[in-house]
Structure 1
Amino acid sequence: MVKQQDDPDWDEFHDLEIVNWKRVRSAIEHENQLTNHRLTWLLSSQAFLFAAFALVFQASTKSDVNSDQKVFYQLVLAGFSLTGILVGIYIQRPLRTAEIQHDNLRDWWYKSISDHDRHPPICGDTPNWRDRFLPPSRFPLVFVAAWIIFVFGVLGNIIISIIKPYSVIIGILVLGLVGALGLVSFGVMIGRRQSNGRPPRP
């Protein structure tokens, strides 16, 4: 039985809000630890791949490297880039899951308490625009974008020679994709406006 604060034998272990505060706080700390571990894995793996990429690239620029060896070096560099992209994509999902769980815990806590001033904040400051624009789950995408740039930098000539005969078809497909995305976005905006203008259901 949960005891109220005005009971003579009240203590914090029988106060439902205090018990819930500790439960939610412990769960948030767990999610933060998982986020920190995953970011550490991300940075460690990317640092190793960047170092290996730099060493192989430096070796490929030596004057005694023949054309066959350059192709081999290009394939190795492309392999490092592909690995970096896959690692970034693989870690991004767990980071996003931890963010969702963190937000759910915070929202549940603030909805369940009766007096916000009675308890200390359950987590840090309210997220600002920087936190929303670049949360931890988007950090791996920065590395993915960097590796894509490296792929085009290393294999640019090969990629251009492959897609050049199909440049017209690719251009048409890109324009069609952009147009389809524009129509979908326009339809979503219209749907939201119509839903906002509807009276609430009884």
Structure 2
Amino acid sequence: MNSPEPTTPQTLPDWELYHALREQWTHEDNLVNHRLMWLILSQGLLFTAYGTLTIDKHRWLVYGFPLFGMAVAAVIGVSIFAALDSSRAIEVEYRRAGLERLCHLVPQSATGHRGNWAAKALPAVFATLWLLAATGFIQAS
């Protein structure tokens, strides 16, 4: 009994390849969205808890929250960049396969990839805010 040949991007009909790449693209876009939500929610909760601390009773937490906040921002930031890199790889495969003639994968506009700026910048913004919070506390001590 012969097993079917494995399907590669080159052997798929154009519309099937388009749908497969589009599905992967959508998945990576959803990953970026979920990870941004994790970042925003976690940072909001951490900043709220940090703001309620009193230095006298919880000194170790006043030091620990900024470190933990920076670590969370860094880890989620790495995962956001991984999803964005996967999206870029899908776009490269899409263009390499010549599927632009069927339909654009990404909207053609003057803004280019500026829609990713928030996803790329927010982890660094939160990490910087935690760094400022930590240095402000150290200077106040």
Query: Normalising to structure 1: TM-score of the pair?
Result: 0.58
* Distance 1:27-1:80 versus aligned 2 partners, 3 A rule: same
Let me know the Cα RMSD of the aligned residues. Answer: 2.3
* Distance 1:129-1:94 versus aligned 2 partners, 3 A rule: closer
Residue-by-residue CA offset, 1:75-104 (whole Å, 9 max, x unaligned): 322211111001011111111111111011
The whole-number CA distance in structure 1 between the counterparts of 2:47 and 2:92 is 39
Q: Which position in structure 2 is the counterpart of 1:78?
A: 63
* Contact 1:88 1:144 (C-alpha < 8 Å) held by counterparts: yes
* Distance 1:90-1:106 versus aligned 2 partners, 3 A rule: same
Q: C-alpha displacement at 1:157, in angstroms?
A: 4.9
Give the number of equivalent residue pairs: 130
Q: Quick one: higher RCO (CA 8 Å, sep 6+), 1 or 2? A: 2
1:45 to 25, 42, 46: 42
* Contact 1:24 1:105 (C-alpha < 8 Å) held by counterparts: yes
* Contact 1:106 1:122 (C-alpha < 8 Å) held by counterparts: yes
> Does 1:28 find its partner at 2:25?
yes
User: Which one-letter code corresponds to 2:42 in the other structure?
Assistant: S
1:100 to 54, 78, 85: 85
The whole-number CA distance in structure 1 between the counterparts of 2:97 and 2:77 is 30
Secondary structure of the residue that 2:106 maps to in structure 1? coil
> Does 1:136 find its partner at 2:115?
no
> Does 1:123 find its partner at 2:112?
no
Structure 2: stretches of 5+ with no match in the other structure: 1-10
Structure 1: stretches of 5+ with no match in the other structure: 1-13, 61-68, 159-202
The whole-number CA distance in structure 1 between the counterparts of 2:47 and 2:108 is 34
Q: C-alpha displacement at 1:73, in angstroms?
A: 3.7
Compare the two structures and name the one with the higher helix fraction.
1
Q: Percent identity?
A: 22
Residue-by-residue CA offset, 1:19-74 (whole Å, 9 max, x unaligned): 11001000001101111111111111101001101111xx45xxxxxxxx2xx444
The whole-number CA distance in structure 2 between the counterparts of 1:112 and 1:137 is 28
* Contact 1:81 1:150 (C-alpha < 8 Å) held by counterparts: yes
Query: Normalising to structure 2: TM-score of the pair?
Result: 0.80
Deviation beyond 6 Å, 4+ runs, structure 1: none
2:74 to 85, 89, 105: 89
The whole-number CA distance in structure 2 between the counterparts of 1:124 and 1:147 is 36
